[in-house]
Structures are given as C-alpha cells and as structure tokens.
A and B are shown apart, each in its own frame.
Chain A
Amino acid sequence: MSLAISVLLAHPGIEHSSVNRALYSAAIRLEHVNGVDLYAQYPDFRIDVATEQQRLLASDVIVFQFPLFWYSTPSLLKEWQDRVLQYGFAYGQGGNALQGKTLICAVTAGGSENTYCAKGYNHFTLRQLLQPIEQTASLTGMHYLPPFALFSSRETQQEARIRNHVNDYQKLLNALAEQRFNHEAACQLDKLNGRLDELISTTTAEPLKQ
C-alpha cells in the first residue's frame, strides 16, 4: 500500500520562481501527491484551519516546500503552523492527530552549499537552522527527515542542475510514497542531497516502526 503525500508550497512570488515552480509542478504530477499553493489558497492570510487539518489527517507524509527566507519559512507557512497545529489537535491533551506521520522540508536557498557550515558566512548547517521545524515535528510525534535542499538557487546557467534536482525530488517523493525509503539511515544526515541513491531501495521496505 502506498502512502499519501501532501506538498505544502509556500512561495509569495511563484511566478518569478525558476526552481520552486518546476519542483512543485513536477511533484503534483505524481500519483500519490496532493499539492496546495498556500499563497494562492490564502492570499489574504486567512487560513481555513478545518480544511488544513483535514488535509493533514488524510496524509502520511507532509512536505513543506519553500524558499529559505531569513533562515526560516515564508511568513504564510509560519502562519499556517501557528493556526493549524492547534493544541488538542497536534499537541497537548488529545493532540495526537499527527503521530507517526513524516515531515520533510524541501528547501531552496540562495547561498552556496559551503556557506551553510560553522566556517561559512551562514555559520550553521541548514538542518541546524531549521531546528524549530524539527522540534515541532518532535513535539507532534512526527518522523522528521533532514531537508532536501537546492543551494545557490539564484545562480545563472543552471538548467541542468535544476533538471537533476527536479528528478531527485520526484524520486524522493515516489520512494516515500512506496515506502522504499530508509528513514533510519536518513535521520543521521545533515541533508538528503547527493545521498538519495543510498537511501532508496528498489523493493518495498518493511512498514515503518511507530
């Protein structure tokens, strides 16, 4: 049985985007993926909490897809977290709706890969910077996967790089849906980039442990 994936795209200028638009349209072409463009759905930031909670209940894997803005998500995705992950739904007493689901961030970042380390001008790794989301996953009982990232996203002359990244995205999503993804091995990594071939098996793995 394959798992249901929801991709939540948060990009305030998707028409200007080269990478995220390609990623998103590739993702929603897949059979088990449902996508929502949050800025199209809620341009005035009035999020329909009930609809969004239903979306979460119906998914096994949740993907936050966004460009990294000031080491965090675009504001609408933060608003989405604040409103949708309610007490009694996502956490706290009776709040176990998200237990056992998987959360992963598909991020594009302008800085180059080597700047996201202690010695680079960004000083932290991407996984470290996204720790608030990782901890949110922990509190809500979700399996957190390291970010699937594209660095140097505003570089010129990068058509081939983007094409590869889009293909990897589809590969990742398919593997997650078909449960061919090695969660335990992935957990140790700083990011999934370049390691997908090791993490994805060709046959269906045994079901996830709770």
Chain B
Amino acid sequence: MTYFFIQAVIFLTAAVVMVPIAKKLGLGSVLGYLIAGVLIGPVAGLVGDEAVTIQHFAEFGVVMMLFLVGLELQPAMLWRMKSRLLGLGGLQVLLSSLLLMLIPLWLGLDWQTALAIGMIFSLSSTAIVLQTFNEKGLTRTEGGSNAFSVLLFQDIAVIPMLAFLPLLAIPAFSTSTSEADAAHATFNLAHILPGWAYALTVILGIAAVVVFGHYLSRPLFRFIAQSGLREMFVACALLIVIGIAALMSLIGLSPALGTFLAGVVLANSEFKHELESNIEPFKGILLGLFFITVGAGIDFAVLTENASLIILATAAVIAVKALILAGLARLFSVRGANRWLLSLSLAQAGEFGFVLVSFALANNVLSAELAQLLLLIVALSMFLTPLLFIAYDKLVLPRYHQKSNQQEADTIQHQGKVIIAGIGRFGQIVNRLLVANGVNTVVLDHQAAQVDTMRAIDIHSYFGDATRPDLLHTAGIEEASLLVIAIDNKEAAIKLAHYVKTTYPHVRILARAYDRGHLYQLLDAGADVIQPETYHSALELGMQALKDVGFHPYTALSKRQMFRQLEIEASNALYQEWKENSEGERFGTDYRQLFMQFEDKIRHEMRQEQNRTDQDSDQHWTPPNKGYADKLG
C-alpha cells in the first residue's frame, strides 16, 4: 500500500507541476504530461517498468474519451457538416496515410508496418489544436472551423483504425508481446465458441449496447435521479462505460468501439450533459496518466542514437501533412490566411498517435524499437506545434492583414448559443420564443420529471443541476453568449448569477426575479437584465382593468407605460437605499418609508397627467389650449 501511495504521489506531483507550466508556455496540457513523464522516467529514474503496467490501465482513458466523443456527435450536426467532414476530413486522413506510408515503404519496411505508420501520422492533435484555437480566438474563423471538421473526422476515424490494426499483425513480432496480453486473450469468447456462435454473440453484444442506450438507460437514469444522490450518478456513469468495455472485451471487440457506439446512442439523451460532466474528470486524469507513462517510456538512448533520423522524419511528417492540407484547402476554396491556418495548425501528429503506437505494438504490427522511434517523432512534432502557430501569427497574418479586413464581411456572423437554466413555467416561454426564431438553446433542469414532460412535447432539454460548474461547462458555457436563469430556487439563482459573472464575464446574464428583494440580490450578484416574474403579466391585467372601467385603450396603454417608467425610476433609487440599509430580503424602515414616498409620487404624477391641459405632457397626447391658434402666424 505504501508503495502504491508513493507511486501515486510521484505521478501526481509531476503532473501538478508540469502541466500548468506547459500550458503557460503555450505547449498545451498533452505536452505537459509528456514532459512530466520524461522527468520522472528517463531523467530522474523515479519510475521504471511498472509504468508499462500503469499504461495498460491508463489506456482506459482513451475508451472514456471515445465515449465522450460519441456523446458529442449528434446526427443532425454531422449531417450539417457532411461535406466538410467527409470531403476535407476524409481526404486528409486518406491522402496523409497513403503518402506517409510511402516513406517507410521506400525505407524497406513491410507494407503492414508502413500502413500502420501512415495511419499513426495522419492524425493530428485535437487536444493541442482546439485548445490553441480557443486561446487565440480562432475557433470561429474559416480556417478554424475547417480544422475542427478535420479533427472530428480523425476522432471518428480512430475507431475503424483500432479495429483494423490487429489485421496487420506480423507474426515475427509476436515474441515481443507481453504475458498480460496472452492472459487477456483467454477471456475472449472468440477462442472458445465455434464460428457461428461467436458471430451471433458479437451481433447480440452490439444490439445489447444499442437497446440499452435507447430503451433501458432512461428509466435507469430517472430512477437514480430521483434518489437525488450525486455520487450514484457518477457510479452509474462509470458502470455504463466500464460495463460496455467489459462486454466488448469479452466478445473480442474493441472496448473503444463499444463505448463510442454507446456514446452516439446516448447523444440525444436528456442525461447527456450529466453523463459528460461525470465522466470528464476520470477521462482527464486517466488520459493524463496515459501521456505520463508514454513520456516515462521514452528511451533517451534511442533518441541520441537516432537524433538525425528522428528530426528528418518529423520534418517530413510536418511537411507532407501541411502540403496535403494546403492542397485540400485550395480544393475546398479556403482562401488566404485561413488556408495557412488550416495547413499549419494540423501538420503535427497527435495524442491518438500514441494510442495507435502502443496498440499496434501490442498487436505485433510494430517492433519495439520502431515504436520507440515513432513515439519520439509524434512527440517532437507536437512540441513543434506552438512554433507553427507562432509562425502563423508572425509571418502569415501580417501578409494577409489588409485582405482579411475586407473578407470579414463575407463570413457568417456566428450566433452564440443561449443556455437556459430551468424549464418551468417561466423558462419554457423564453425558450419557445428563442427556438421559434432559430436561436440555438441548451436547456437544463434538475427535475427529471420536468425534463421528461418537455421532451414529450419536443422541447430539447437536459437533466442536470445548472448551478454545478462542471455541468455548465459541459453544456458549453464557454461558447455561450447568454445565460437565462429561470430556476425555482431563489438562493441558487443568486449563486449561479454570481458564479457565472465572475468566472465567465463575457456571458450576459438574464434572470427572473421573484420579487423586489430577489431582484436587488440578483442585481448585486451581477445579473445584467432582471425581470420580476409577475410584473408584466400584472401590468397587462391592470391595463385591461383600466380599459374595462372605461379608459380608452390607447390611454390605458400610455398609462401602463408611464407607470412602468415611474417604477423604474423609483426602483433605482430604492435599490440604492436597499443596498445601504437592508440585509438580504429584509427591508429596513427607511426603505419602507421611501417605498411609500414613491407610491405617492407615482399616484401624484399619474393624476396630474390626467388633468393636464397644457402642452408639456410627454407621455400622452393632449390637445393644445383653447384659442391657441389665434396666437400663431
């Protein structure tokens, strides 16, 4: 146990120190983990062979990652992106794989190994690129969104690659497989069952995943949601991912494929964001651990012996990928600086390269020495990515600066999405108005029954407590332009407004208040626009009452508007008073007096306006004085 703790301390310390530093330097978290691994492995010698065992465990992070990738894939979104996704992404992966396969072939390697190498290098680093785009604000540019399509296609392409790699196995390498893999294999039904029965099992296994995702997951989640225990949801999310991984290993399929499939099936579920926010931390930690073990496994002897080969190969990979991307960008008429951005940003190899290398090694597609070399090339190309971005900033952008100003008018203005917290009586109306006008909304509610009712009438909403930061994150608060707070809990609404205003100052907050006290508290918490929930309907009804007691409709409307205006003025003054002398919802005596004063003022002004015959009314039309015309001319 002591040993385990010490191990954990070493890994965590390395990560906690190196990852933030790497991020500060613009290298991204993936490289941070790699450096941490290099430091505790080859440099300091704190961890040794056991890193390989940990790596097998940490590979599970990849399985979780693919589950999350699946969750993010909504068929509608894929359909919208289909031409870019298949055209740009598909051609990029295909051409890069084939061209990069030629080099190892030319160097005399087996075609299976060469193809594996091609596939490994064809993938780019989603983690580094998307993070850099976010930091530099390039996500919404033409180059950025095209790069996203390519990355998304690559993330999906990993699945068939993982399935395909074992078919490339070269028997000569089988000596290098570990005993763990051999032991692993005995659990596989493929070796026990006859062919037809195995095929049937595979079909049944996949069907089970789909049926579970479609029909059984919902009642299960609802049952757990009713318990109100947060950790049960975490346990359940883990159970689903691990359960599917176990099932897939048992029937001899890739666990990554299984969880990916489950993710896609659950992508439309109202529990999507809740699942995401629960799995996300595990994925992050395990993937981090995976990259650390990759770094720890780097053999410096290999690096120094083959330094020139590694540098040349890295340069070749970057050059080939950039050229292919530039050609494709031309084909898909991505112009100017955006073409450079697309080509340079995706020229590196990526974290999936590490996964494929270790997977290919385990499946006897690569020799151990070659795998070492490939890991180094992938890592080096990732290290160079920040340099490519700097080159883009310093060399490419200045050349296109004038042009890009003119082009901006052509690009479609991206409409940020709106997150609506709470889909009760109030949030519903807001959401209906927005959705009817084509605004992209994400609706969250913490009552599974409410979400159910909404889903029944085709209002897309997700189960989850909007006041939880991680859930807000998975709902996409970073890219949101607006947050509408319409949750029932008064205190929680105030906390939410405060949290979002301090953490995401760019998000505009529109909140529903219960009463005046709540309104002031929300104002204090940083909400930008606050609407008392009953105020407008009461005014509307009041106006109707005025009409029914004989006021002309146009006058009734004017009175209503005037009343509202006077109220706003009074409210601002009352807010100052409340701020100085009241605590929370309790109103001080001064406040009460002020309130009554304002009521008098409103009454007075409305009456005066009614009796006014002179010219200075600005609210409502009144005729000029009798005989005014005689004084004109």
**B554: Cβ under 8 A from any A Cβ:** yes
Contact of B621 with A110 in the complex, beta carbons under 8 Å: no
Interchain CB contact under 8 A, A13 and B557: no
Residue of B nearest to A17 (CB): B623
Contact partner, A43, options B556, B625, B629, B630, Cβ 8 Å:
B556
Q: How far is the CA of A135 from the CA of B553 in the complex (A)?
A: 32
Given A43-B557, A154-B623, A154-B624, also A14-B629 (CB < 8 A)? no
Cα–Cα distance between A143 and B620 once the two chains are bound (Å): 35
Bound complex: CA of A192 vs CA of B339, how far in Å? 75
Partner of B552, one of A14, A112, A122, A154: A14
Report which of A43, A120, A122, A152 forms a contact with B553, defined as CB distance below 8 A: A43
Q: How many A-B residue pairs have CB under 8 A?
A: 57
* B229 at the A interface (CB under 8 A): no
Interface residues in B538-553 by Cβ distance below 8 A to A read: 552-553
When A112-B629, A115-B633, A152-B629 are in contact, do A40 and B624 touch as well, CB less than 8 Å?
no
Q: Interface extent on B, as a size class?
A: 20 to 34
> What is the interface size of chain A, counting residues whose CB is below 8 A from a CB of the partner?
23
Is A12 engaged at the interface, CB distance under 8 Å to the other chain? yes
Q: Which residues of B contact A (CB under 8 A)?
A: 552-557, 613, 620-630, 632-633
Query: Which A residues are closer than 8 A to B by beta carbons?
Result: 12-17, 37, 39-41, 43-44, 110-112, 115, 120-122, 152, 154-156
CA distance A40 to B557 in the complex (A): 10
Query: A residues within 8 A CB of B627?
Result: 154-156
- The CA-CA distance from A43 to B556 in the complex, in Å, is 9
Residues of A within 8 A of B630 (CB): 112
Q: How far is the CA of A111 from the CA of B631 in the complex (A)?
A: 10
**Chain B residues near A41 (CB-CB < 8 A):** 553
12 further A-B pairs in the complex, CB-CB below 8 A; given A13-B623, A41-B553: A15-B555, A37-B552, A39-B553, A39-B554, A43-B553, A121-B633, A152-B629, A154-B625, A154-B626, A154-B627, A154-B628, A155-B627
Please name 5 pairs of A and B residues whose Cβ atoms are closer than 8 Å in the assembled complex, sorted by A: A43-B554, A111-B633, A115-B633, A122-B633, A154-B629
Chain B residues lying within 8 Å of A43, measured Cβ to Cβ, are 553-554, 556-557
CA distance A44 to B554 in the complex (A): 8
Q: How far is the CA of A112 from the CA of B629 in the complex (A)?
A: 7
A110 touches B555 (CB 8 A): no
> Does the CB pair A12–B632 fall under 8 Å?
no
A43 and B560 CA atoms in complex are apart in Å by 12
Contact A39 B629 (CB under 8 A): no
Specify the chain A residue showing the minimal Cβ separation from B623: A16
Query: B621 and A12: CB pair below 8 A?
Result: yes
Question: Are B621 and A13 closer than 8 Å at their CB atoms?
Answer: yes
Q: Cα distance A44–B560 when bound, in Å?
A: 12
